[in-house]
Amino acid sequence: MRRFFLAVFLLTAPIQAYAENVALVIEGRDYRGLPEPSGSALADQAQGVLARRGFEVVTARDLPMGDLRAELAALQAKLADGALERLVIVASGWFAASDSGAWFLASDASQPSLATVDGAGLRLDSVMELAANAASAHVWLAQPTSGAVSDELGFGLRAGLPDRLAVPRGVAVLRGDVRAVLDGLDTVLQPGTTLSETLAATRDLRGEGTVPTLVPFLPEGFAPVAQADRDAWETARNADTEDAYRSYLAQFPNGLSAQEARGRIDTLRNTPERIEQDLALSRNERRAIQRDLTTLGYNTRGIDGLFGPGTRGAIEAWQSQLDFTETGFLTRDQIFQLAGQAARRAAEIEAEERARREALERADRAFWEGTGAGADEAGLRAYLARYPEGIFAGLARERLATIEAEARAQADRAAWERARAADRARGYRRYLADFPDGRFVSQARRRLAELEPIRDVPAPDTPPPHVLEQEEAQLGMTQSVRVLVERRLSGLGYDPGMIDGDFDGNTRAAIKKAQARFGLPVNGYVSQGLLDSMLQDALRGLFR
């Protein structure tokens, strides 16, 4: 079954008349385990009658037991504040009675019995006792006009209300069918009308408890709605927003200022900001607008889809250029016009860029031809200096690489010829130093070995290998220093093997040759003396 709850508050700001007059309208029609009551619905009509008389109305329709108790708890909180002057409780639906009590059944009631009915409905004596805390209270009980529910009730219960109710002092209980209750409500809520007059004027309505004959329920001239209307309008005017005016109209659709409220809504809806807001532009659409403005030369301070001061300023500048009102906000037509302008300008920029590229290409080709089209080294270098990323830059670099390789090969051969002509160790070492990857490196090393044979005769007091290894380790050579040692050995004409800082057998053999050359003990391990000798030899080579 459907559960529905509607709460209507007539004013957004607290008004004294509304705080003093509260109504709770309870209606049960859509029961889960009981048949639907016959007769017309009551809640909406009762709510309208009460609201027109300035009551704060809470409507509880088809609620299960837990929610009904929650509504009573909320009403109790209002009563506890002591501000309620008038309280109206209206209940329409199935009632059940026993010899000692009566209940209004909740929507989830299903075959309640005397033992379970307190969990299936509200006790009317509790409702009336709660109402007695207001200065003046009416409890209206509307019973279905027909339709039996007795067969659905369990042991100890009978359908309907008992003949008499124990009504607390200060509370009036009115009972009848839905039509009688609605007519009675409409009558008693006329200012200046007493409850006794209402009972006399309303057919099929019966009253119990406190039924005043002299004091009207609402005094003469009672008109809280008009004052509430004026107060609500003042609140809306102070806020001056569309939501505020809509709230006023929701409360007073035919109010004193309803026409003016609708006019202000139309005015606010037609503000530039609202017109743009209603377009519901996506983040990508906003980026597109920023790109269009940028294309036209207006600085939006970024293309991020966020319309901050930069974008608003750019829009104002564009609007000024086209004699639009400078609002900083766009309409749909302005967006289309902006996009069209940007598209035309983008085409112009593309054409300008294409013409610029064509002019650069012509100048590039002309310079290439003017420098000899790559015929010589000078022309190639001049072209690359002017056009490092030019049309012919790749070709120019390839040709220069070829020329430089040929020059290097010629220098290699010339140096080798000089070394071979002199046929001395110093000449071969110089060749190896100048051309470590040269074409004749192996021949130079072989001849250098012939001219400077290894004197691998250790001195009688040569320490054992493990001592020599420790002494070498104490030098603290890093990997980069060991690589430099191997390179210097290669420069001296001795093959150290792979130059990787790892002293393998080839490296140890080259070290022995260097030690022999410098007159040091020949043992294949680096010492401080060997490092000093190789450094001095390298320095002398700089001044040869």
Tell me the pLDDT tens digit for each residue of 471-483.
Answer: 899 989 999 999 9
Would you place residue 5 in the very low, low, confident or very high pLDDT band (cuts 50, 70, 90)? very low
Would you place residue 288 in the very low, low, confident or very high pLDDT band (cuts 50, 70, 90)? very high
Residue 331 tokens read as 């309409």
Torsional class of 372: left (φ above 0), alpha (ψ -120 to 50), beta (otherwise)? left
The segment(s) of the chain belonging to CATH 3.40.50.1460 are 4-209
Contact assessment for residue 22 and residue 84, using Cβ atoms and an 8 Å cutoff: yes
Q: Which of 138-142, 397-401, 452-456, 531-535 has the lowest average pLDDT?
A: 452-456
- Between 129 and 425, where is the model more confident? 129
What amino acid is encoded at 72 in this protein?
Answer: L
Determine the Cα–Cα distance for residues 37 and 109; give it in Å rounded to an integer: 14
Q: Does 3.40.50.1460 match the CATH number of domain 4-209?
A: yes
HSE-up of 380 (CA within 13 Å, CB side)? 16
HSE-up of 410 (CA within 13 Å, CB side)? 6
Residues contacting residue 7 through CB under 8 Å, at least 6 positions apart: 58, 59
Q: What percent of the chain has pLDDT over 90?
A: 49
pLDDT tens by residue, 152-190: 888 999 988 999 999 999 999 999 999 999 999 999 999
Mean pLDDT calculated for residue range 386-404: 90
Return the pLDDT at 448: 82
| CA terminus-to-terminus distance, the chain | 110
Determine the Cα–Cα distance for residues 396 and 416; give it in Å rounded to an integer: 30
Would you place residue 294 in the very low, low, confident or very high pLDDT band (cuts 50, 70, 90)? very high
What amino acid is encoded at 429 in this protein?
Answer: R
Return the pLDDT at 343: 95
DSSP string covering 319-339: HHHTT----S---HHHHHHHH
Residue 175 tokens read as 């009972």
Determine the Cα–Cα distance for residues 452 and 425; give it in Å rounded to an integer: 7
Return the pLDDT at 147: 58
**Bridge partners (DSSP) listed for residue 177:** 143
Determine the Cα–Cα distance for residues 34 and 256; give it in Å rounded to an integer: 46
User: What are the backbone angles phi and psi of residue 174, rounded to the nearest 5°?
Assistant: -115, 130
**What is the CATH number that goes with domain 455-542?**
1.10.101
What amino acid is encoded at 440 in this protein?
Answer: F
Whether pLDDT at 55 is above 60: yes
What amino acid is encoded at 183 in this protein?
Answer: D
Report the predicted TM-score, pTM, of the whole model to 2 decimal places. 0.44
CB burial readout 442-475, b (16+ within 10 A) else e: eebbebbbeebeeeeeeeeeeeeeeebeeebeee
Identify the CA nearest to 69 among candidates 134, 121, 129: 121
Would you place residue 266 in the very low, low, confident or very high pLDDT band (cuts 50, 70, 90)? confident
Determine the Cα–Cα distance for residues 138 and 144; give it in Å rounded to an integer: 20
**Bridge partners (DSSP) listed for residue 208:** 173
Return the pLDDT at 27: 92
The contacts found for 227-235 with CB under 8 angstroms, 24 or more apart, are 227/15, 227/17, 228/10, 228/11, 228/15, 228/17, 228/18, 228/54, 228/252, 229/255, 229/256, 229/257, 230/256, 231/11, 231/13, 231/15, 232/11, 232/12, 232/13, 233/257, 233/261, 235/12, 235/13
Determine the Cα–Cα distance for residues 321 and 313; give it in Å rounded to an integer: 12
Return the pLDDT at 541: 67
Whether pLDDT at 4 is above 50: no
Q: Which of 36-45, 112-121, 131-140, 500-509 has the lowest average pLDDT?
A: 36-45
Mean pLDDT calculated for residue range 249-267: 89
Give percent helix, percent strand, percent coil of the chain, each to the nearest 5: 50, 10, 40
- Classify 310 as helix, strand or coil: helix
Return the pLDDT at 438: 87
Helix (H) / strand (E) element for 87: namely strand 86-92
Q: CA quadruple 453, 513, 500, 532: dihedral positive or negative?
A: negative
pLDDT tens by residue, 298-346: 999 999 999 999 999 999 999 999 999 999 999 999 999 999 999 999 9
Would you place residue 15 in the very low, low, confident or very high pLDDT band (cuts 50, 70, 90)? very low
Whether pLDDT at 2 is above 50: no
Return the pLDDT at 542: 64
Query: What is the number of other CB atoms lying within 10 angstroms of the CB of residue 364?
Result: 18
- Classify 217 as helix, strand or coil: coil
Would you place residue 544 in the very low, low, confident or very high pLDDT band (cuts 50, 70, 90)? low
Return the pLDDT at 535: 86
Return the pLDDT at 12: 32
DSSP string covering 504-528: -HHHHHHHHHHHHHTT---SSS--H
The segment(s) of the chain belonging to CATH 1.10.101 are 455-542
Residue 539 tokens read as 């320095």
Return the pLDDT at 6: 30
Contact assessment for residue 353 and residue 334, using Cβ atoms and an 8 Å cutoff: no
Residues contacting residue 359 through CB under 8 Å, at least 6 positions apart: none
Q: What is the mean pLDDT of the chain?
A: 87
CB burial readout 404-418, b (16+ within 10 A) else e: eeeeeeeebeebbee
